Amino acid sequence: MAPPRERNDRRPAWNPAQGSGAGRGGEKPWRGPPRLPKRETSHDWLWGRHAVEAALVNPARPQPKRVLAIEERARALQALAPGLAVQVVEPTAIAAMLPTGAAHQGQALETPELAGVDLDALAEPTDGLLLMLDQVTDPQNVGAIFRSAAAFGARGVILQDRRSPPLAGALAKAAAGAIERVPCARVVNLARALESLSDLGWRAVGLAGEAQADLAQVLDPRPTVLVLGSEGEGLRRLVAEHCDGMARIPMPGGFESLNVASAAAVALYEASRRTSVRAAGESD
């Protein structure tokens, strides 16, 4: 029989991940660190000062399900929307309900996603600017594009129903309240939507880096739909074929391309100048 020390040396090292085993002083198997509460995965959350405040004053929004805020922000929100029920919590409690890293600025709002509008309602009267996004799926980019659309007076944004992110969460935070101001139409087929818009008198201009003409050469004062594609693939063939003109943004600095959100801001600025010229001419 081996001496006691030798017998102990032959025992396998205790592995906490395997538990302590039955019969060792009645200890329960070690199950690892305690689980944290599961984060919400719903698309019904908005966070950040501008996104939450704009949603609360938007009459198209239904009554919010929950409003969470730190004490200072709760007072500000109740001053903005008298009678609003706000649950005062610590910042960590807000963060626990949101995606990791969400910059909530001490407030968050749970509310159903904002309903879109019909394409016909968005397109009539035939005047001004519309923006159409083809397979632009990054919420940060789409949110920034909504913000630019609001800044340059676009009438609305058209998205493909199956290939676009929800108007909530990180998108709403990047939009800084613009999704409450700029109507959005979701359509099944972008090419057919362009056909419908053309019948109503809209002219579609697609952006593509390989286009021969500069944007300023293709734009005119007529009601215009600016069509932008994803950064990787650009406009799909069928969508591009339904555009009345294709244009590129000239970049004399020699840089190859712009982020789609930056390209949208440049295009909206240039197009808004054309519609301003038309409006000024009609008022003379």
pLDDT at 279 exceeding the cut of 60: no
Across residues 277-284, what is the average pLDDT?
Answer: 51
Domain boundaries, the chain: 45-110, 119-283
Report residue 123's pLDDT band, with 50, 70 and 90 as the boundaries.
very high
Across residues 114-127, what is the average pLDDT?
Answer: 93
- Return the HEC string of the chain: CCCHHHHHHHCCCCCHHHCCCCCCCCCCCCCCCCCCCCCCCCCCEEECHHHHHHHHCCCCCCCCCEEEECHHHHHHHHHHCCCCCCEECCHHHHHCCCCCCCCCCCEEEECCCCCCCCHHHHHCCCCCEEEEEECCCCHHHHHHHHHHHHHCCCCEEEEEHHHCCCCCHHHHHHHCCHHHCCCEEEECCHHHHHHHHHHCCCEEEEECCCCCCEHHHHCCCCCEEEEEEECCCECCHHHHHCCCEEEECCCCCCCCCCCHHHHHHHHHHHHHHHHHHHHHHHHC
Lowest mean pLDDT among 40-44, 64-68, 141-145: 40-44
Report residue 209's pLDDT band, with 50, 70 and 90 as the boundaries.
confident
Across residues 97-106, what is the average pLDDT?
Answer: 95
pLDDT at 119 exceeding the cut of 80: yes
Lowest mean pLDDT among 18-22, 65-69, 109-113: 18-22
Report residue 255's pLDDT band, with 50, 70 and 90 as the boundaries.
low
pLDDT at 36 exceeding the cut of 50: no
Above pLDDT 90, what percent of the chain?
69
Select, from the ranges 27-36, 61-70, 255-264, the one with the highest average predicted confidence (pLDDT): 61-70
pLDDT at 7 exceeding the cut of 70: no
pLDDT at 54 exceeding the cut of 50: yes
Q: Give the residues across from 87 on adjacent strands.
A: 68
pLDDT at 35 exceeding the cut of 60: no
Q: What is the pLDDT of residues 171-202, one digit of tens each?
A: 999 999 999 999 999 999 999 999 999 999 99
Q: Which CATH number fits domain 119-283: 3.40.1280.10, 3.90.550.10, 3.40.50.720, 3.20.20.140?
A: 3.40.1280.10
Q: Is the pTM of this model over 0.75?
A: yes
Report residue 85's pLDDT band, with 50, 70 and 90 as the boundaries.
very high
Task: Yes or no: say if 176 and 204 are a contact pair by the CB < 8 Å rule.
Answer: no
